[in-house]
Amino acid sequence: MGNWPAKGNSNEVLLKGRRRRPGEPPKIVILSDIHGNYEALKALPEAYDELWVLGDLVNYGPQPAEVIEFVRKKATLVVRGNHDDAVAFDRDPRCSPAFRRAAEETRKYTASVLTNKHKEYLADLPHYRWVRRGRWTFYLCHAVPSDPLHTYCGGDAARWRKELAVAGTDFLFVGHTHVQFSLREGEQLVVNPGSIGQPKMGKPDPTYAIWENGSVTLHGYKYPVERTVERMRSMPIGTVEQKLLIDVLETGIAPKSNKERSHV
């Protein structure tokens, strides 16, 4: 992953969309894993015709309600992440050991600041979406098509070949790992836009993808991470978990447990 083009910080005006000529395919912004980081989300410096969100709107971060409201108003397509599922149904998000306690503690906090309507919104999110735009087909899910909520799959080309066969579309959009990548297999492309709210690309910059006229480009941007960190400091969670989450936000590096790669 190289350096992405520098873009400015928050500009709500840009998010109102753009003019599109009749018959022109939409410009689609695809993002994932916002994790209650509203400061990062509202700084997204991109105009779009459609916004697609690949799950994990909530947990870990301090402003899950604001994130849900934003996504509910602006997104065209949204799928459920393992943390949305965990908060909506009060069950285990099945994190790696490195994040288990942080997920558990912030889940209690998240549930305490969401209304029943917010939880119903999360509970109603679909596991996947299959859609068409113009002559292109798209499959969206949080993890992988064969297990939309939980299975971790990095850049393993052989595994993605199987998952692309399950999807059967021109484009497969996934999140879950917080690591941005794209991988072509024949005529199909799998794209992970990375994470808005807890990126793990070795720097704190949120990342996203743009689909436009059959092509996908990968992007990132700066945001005032210190504002999210400040809010995290006042979250009612343990100091160890707080430190872990702040470290990940500030460095873009996930702690690894002894025997396995961390994933969220």
Residues numbered 19-78 forming contacts with Fe ion, rule: CB under 5 A: 33, 56
**13-17 CB contacts, 8 Å cutoff, 24+ apart:** 14/45, 14/46, 14/47, 15/44, 15/46, 15/47, 15/48, 15/74, 16/47, 17/47, 17/48, 17/49
Beta carbon of residue 215, minimum distance to Fe ion (angstroms, whole number): 26
Token digits of residue 4:
């992405």
Task: Tell me whether residue 149 or residue 188 sits nearer to Fe ion (CB atom).
Answer: 149
Beta carbon of residue 240, minimum distance to Fe ion (angstroms, whole number): 20
Task: Tell me whether residue 188 or residue 244 sits nearer to Fe ion (CB atom).
Answer: 244
Task: Tell me whether residue 33 or residue 39 sits nearer to Fe ion (CB atom).
Answer: 33
Q: Which residue is nearest to Fe ion (CB)?
A: 56
**58, 49 Cβ separation under 8 angstroms:** no
Residues numbered 158-187 forming contacts with Fe ion, rule: CB under 5 A: none
Identify residue 75 by its one-letter amino acid code: A
Residues whose CB falls within 8 Å of the CB of residue 2, separated by 6 or more in sequence, listed in order: none
Task: Tell me whether residue 47 or residue 111 sits nearer to Fe ion (CB atom).
Answer: 111
| Residue 264 binding Fe ion, by CB under 5 A | yes
Beta carbon of residue 96, minimum distance to Fe ion (angstroms, whole number): 11
Site residues, Fe ion (CB under 5 A): 33, 56, 264
